[in-house]
Structure 1
């Protein structure tokens, strides 16, 4: 909302808003969908003529539960196939992921990148003991017994 408040209605048509989420169908099946929207302005500077969007079932492409919201500037020249997002935020609706602290998530990302505990400690400016405590806590919170299981769990559930 902060992004929208900081821009005029006229500027909205320069951006595409995309996010994914899960819905339950009438037959009680959970599917993942992608929603993408953009706006078109009326001749009046303070009104929006229309919002155009689409929904697409992406269940065959997405197996995790994380929700990703992006705001992208639309390349009207069509010279670039992909512009980097102006804003990107990731949410983890499954409560299992909420139990990892921000710092534990950073340590987990470093583990995923192949860094040793000593390298992680140096990178995050913490002691080796702190990194080892974060590792131990993540194993307990995710009910895994070693780093390989922790990484497998985090990839399978979309934590990293």
Structure 2
């Protein structure tokens, strides 16, 4: 045998042994990094859902207030109609994964002043009175529910009543 071939053969054997030992290292590194990447990814998704749902709550409050400051045939819109506009908007736009619905509790939607108490022309509501729609939603975290408690998303919209035309 040639000495150079033995040296090369031993070099290849030694090199092959190093490659075999490196394969396990990559798997261990992957096992360590994967949970961190998953936590980061689900945290970003959860944060995006919170921001999106906050925007939906704000828009629902605006929709209810805009509908509530107008009138139908000279009569103010009732609180139930305003509430239904808000609930319909939230139900069609909010992402909850079926965990909860708005309007389940009495304090979720607050409308002041209450349009049901005064429904005549302009006796209580003149041009300078405001309608205030407040929408509250208890957001329960999906992925981080074990670590974080629920947070309250709230939006309030204030709009001036439109003057009802005298007939």
Structure with higher Rg: it is 2
Q: Same fold per TM (> 0.5)?
A: no
Greater strand fraction, Structure 1 or Structure 2? 1
User: TM-score if structure 1 supplies the norm length?
Assistant: 0.26
User: TM-score by structure 2 length?
Assistant: 0.25
